[in-house]
A = this chain, B = another copy of it.
Amino acid sequence: MAKITSVSPLAPAAFPNLPVIDGVRFATAEAGVRYQGRTDVMLAMLDPGSVVTGVFTRSATRSANVLDCQKKIGTDSDAGAAIIVNSGNSNAFTGRAGEGSVDAISEAVAAKTGLPANRVFTSSTGVIGERLPHDRIIAKIDDLVGALDAGKIAPAAKAIMTTDTFPKGACAEVEVDGKTVRIAGMAKGSGMIAPDMATMLVYVFTDAKIGRADLQAIVSDAADKTFNCITVDSDTSTSDTLLMGATGASGADVTGNAAFAQAVHDVFLDLAHQVVKDGEGATKFVEITVTGAATDADARTHAMAIANSPLVKTAIAGEDPNWGRIVMAIGKSGAAADRDLLSIRFGDIVVAEKGWVSAEYREAQGAAIMKQQEIPITVDLGLGTGQATVWTCDLTHGYISINADYRS
């Protein structure tokens, strides 16, 4: 793979200080799946009584691990659970051999931990179409189980990175009935990032007490508004997986608690934004809001057409307030639009209104916004009340450099 020599200019100053989630422990190992000299396997163990929920890619060519997780996720169990993740190889498009690798890893973890194999969730991320050397992972399971530690979420976030230039973590706390509920999670993702699925690898944990179906509803809704609203390159991964586990260790029942659902949303959004900020080659973080659409779905279609347009993304890379390309993207999106009702803003600056450039607009104003590291773009369609916000990054030489030499 391409050597990533520098951290994204959009990276947070530091990895956040994530709280311990009672009932979850982490360990990492150097299994040498593909990378040498770095950790590439992460094990998370959830205590008995935990519930596990998830959201997955809808790709028709999804990986053996995703298919296996989807089989296992819908059942209740008091046995606890394990999540084991490797980077360097996605185990996607590896046919029956890929399924065999998932089973072998699941059974090996089950044997060492006493869990039933259907409580072991696996993820793999990296190159597509090469057989996963699962023996290298299995050889490390003893070490991993022996090293489990509630304080090791930060190294876990590092072990799952591929082309990421920084590890991604986020957390939140909510007071419920006088008790503190904690949420902490990690994500990886940088390229092959597009919506319409769970997106990337994301693992979030909480000590809240909540039933599986209730947590799943919160997770699905929050994923739809966060991870499903980001795009780096319009390419949907074969491995996208989001797993969220709740241990119940806080003793605080969050069933029906809106503040908890909001906190889950906030943690997801933070992680989703970090993925965009680590978009391959990214130098700008772009928030695109579409209002006044005929429907929310139309607003999303327009916003994603703008966010995925190579011409819009290269203009932003060049700090060029080329709003004509936004008009183009709206025109091609397929959703309803009326040229003569359109307005476009960069930040608070009205650039275009009623189908033409605003009389007050001066290019220097747009250029100033484009120089910012975070660029808000708003389009109002003037048709109805539908709206959507999505997040993306610019398209730069860095993206080409990283991806024209990823594998060979």
Contacts and interface: CB of A to CB of B under 8 A. Distances in A.
A235 B324 contact: no
Q: Is the interface of A mostly helix, strand, loop or mixed?
A: loop
Given A129-B327, A327-B238, A328-B59, A355 B93 contact: yes
Contacts of A397: 397, 400-401
A317 B354 CA distance: 41
B403 A396 contact: no
A395 interface: yes
A322 interface: yes
Interface stretch (A68-76, A169-177, A332-340): A332-340
Contact of A407 (B322, B338, B340): B322
Given A236-B332, A328-B192, A332-B236, A404 B128 contact: no
Contacts of A234: 234, 308-310
A67 to B, nearest CB: 9
A14 interface: no
B400 A311 contact: no
A115 interface: no
A330 B61 contact: yes
A400 B400 CA distance: 9
Nearest to A405: B318
Nearest to A355: B95
A149 interface: no
A236 B97 CA distance: 42
Contacts of A196: 332
A2 to B, nearest CB: 9
Contacts of A406: 315, 318, 320, 322
A194 interface: yes
A235 B352 contact: no
A48 to B, nearest CB: 35
Given A61-B339, A235-B310, A235-B325, 14 more contacts: A60-B339, A93-B324, A93-B327, A93-B339, A93-B355, A128-B325, A130-B324, A192-B328, A233-B310, A233-B311, A235-B328, A314-B399, A314-B403, A320-B406
Contact of A318 (B95, B128, B404): B404
A94 to B, nearest CB: 6
20 contacts: A59-B332, A60-B331, A60-B336, A61-B337, A92-B324, A93-B324, A93-B352, A95-B354, A97-B356, A129-B357, A192-B311, A196-B332, A235-B329, A310-B310, A315-B404, A315-B406, A318-B404, A320-B404, A320-B408, A324-B407
Contacts of A404: 314-315, 317-318, 320, 396
A307 interface: no
A310 B307 CA distance: 14
Contacts of A401: 397
